[in-house]
Amino acid sequence: MDHPCHKCGHSIEDGKPFCSQCGAPQIRVTVAEVPTVPLTAGTGSVPILPMEPSALDVPVLRGSGANTLQACGLAAAVSFGLTLLGLHFLVAALGSGFLAVTFARRRSPGTSIRPGAGARLGALSGLWFFGTLTVLNTLAVAILHKGAEIRSEQLENLQRWAARYPSPAAQPVLDFAKTPDGFAIMMVASLVMGFVVVLVLGGCGGALAATLWRRRDRT
């Protein structure tokens, strides 16, 4: 079938992209009209542009900036103080992540913290909390000369662990830990393990707090 050219009216075979008479393109794209909403008298009208679903969400806290860093530091300080009052450091590490997200929300009202961002905030707070504990123990050894007391406490904990879980390999490990080299290796291993555990617990606490706060905001 043929159709007339929209520009010159010359008959063109269907499927040909250009008019052989005037060269006008025959493929035309129809653009849907954008709805408009009238404004007040004398101001005309303005088009209503489609909005992405993300634009309707509340602002999202990105987990960076002075407010979030201060929130993490404050959460670590509170958790450290609770540790001095007798709270177990594992519970305090979990709480530091939870408090970091809570304090960040209060410093940036009207924002929403996603679980991933909450986990990062919690991990950062846990890192500061662990660093504070490590510095305190180092100062206690260097200034207060509590190295022997800490060593004795660690060996007692190891002996209790060996008594609770009797094994033929437990006694050689205990004997090796009593040597200076063995105790040094044990302390380094404890620091590495504690670092990983605190980061994980802090991240879990932050993700948990972010999830709970987001559910509360939606209700």
Q: What is the pLDDT along the chain (219 residues), one digit of tens a residue?
A: 677 777 777 777 777 767 777 777 766 655 555 555 555 555 555 555 554 444 334 444 544 466 788 889 999 999 989 998 989 888 999 999 999 999 988 877 767 788 888 999 999 999 999 998 888 878 877 776 666 776 777 777 777 777 777 777 767 777 777 777 777 787 788 888 889 999 999 999 999 999 998 888 776
pLDDT of residue 67: 74
Residue 54 half-sphere exposure, CB side, CA atoms within 13 Å?
Answer: 1
As a whole number of angstroms, the distance between CA 35 and CA 40 comes to 17
Q: Identify the pLDDT of residue 53.
A: 42
Q: What is the DSSP annotation of 111-143?
A: -B--HHHHHHHHHHHHHHHHHHHHHHHHHHHHT
- Write down the pTM of the prediction: 0.58
Report the distance separating Cα 198 and Cα 192, nearest Å.
10
